[in-house]
Structure 1
Amino acid sequence: MTIGETPFTRNMFSHWWNEVLDEVNILFSPLFVLPKFLGVDVIMFSYRLVCEETIRDAKERGFSVVAWTVNDADYMRILARNNVPFLTDHSSKVDKNMFTAKSSSKL
């Protein structure tokens, strides 16, 4: 494995816990209480939880959405077409052209 292909964390419990916290955050996200309280501009969700409704609700309330950790090239293209930035462990899969397409795709 090269450095660009190694995952950020190999601790599966830590990764699982982050996803559980994201799920809890999604339950309360329609209220956006925590981000409002903290005064943040960007909300980060696991890419599995990012959907059109999440993006729309966040933008209506003045927040941007960032997806983590997207290692599938198809998901990268879908998120890029919907103007959702993402974090990845596999930067070699990111194609700069995926960010130039203006057509929107359903998530």
Structure 2
Amino acid sequence: MRLTFASGQSDLSPESVAAIKQLTASVPSSDATTFNVDAYAPGTPDDPSTARRLSLSRAMAVRSALIADGVPSARIFVRALGAKFGDGPADRADVSVEGTGNQAAQK
């Protein structure tokens, strides 16, 4: 899932909050399920720390929303990748889920 942010901002939009709620509701809960959050922000080569700080703020905002929706913090892994945004817009966070398998349990 890809969440976008306004330039220079780390606050989640109402649409992003709703998308996170939908994601957590659709993923079976199990001890093997993990959520990976990769956050990005634009930056310049002469000041990489600004992009890293903003991407970390974005990752933590997504983490907080996942926790608010019942995901245990120990199952959330965040990476603040700063300006290393590869394919896609710089102002974003990508959320992936691993280990859903067949061991579904109720939340």
When the two structures are superposed, what TM-score results if normalisation uses the length of structure 1?
Answer: 0.26
The structure whose residues are more often strand, as a share, is 2
Q: Which has the higher contact order (CA 8 A, sep 6+)?
A: 2
When the two structures are superposed, what TM-score results if normalisation uses the length of structure 2?
Answer: 0.26
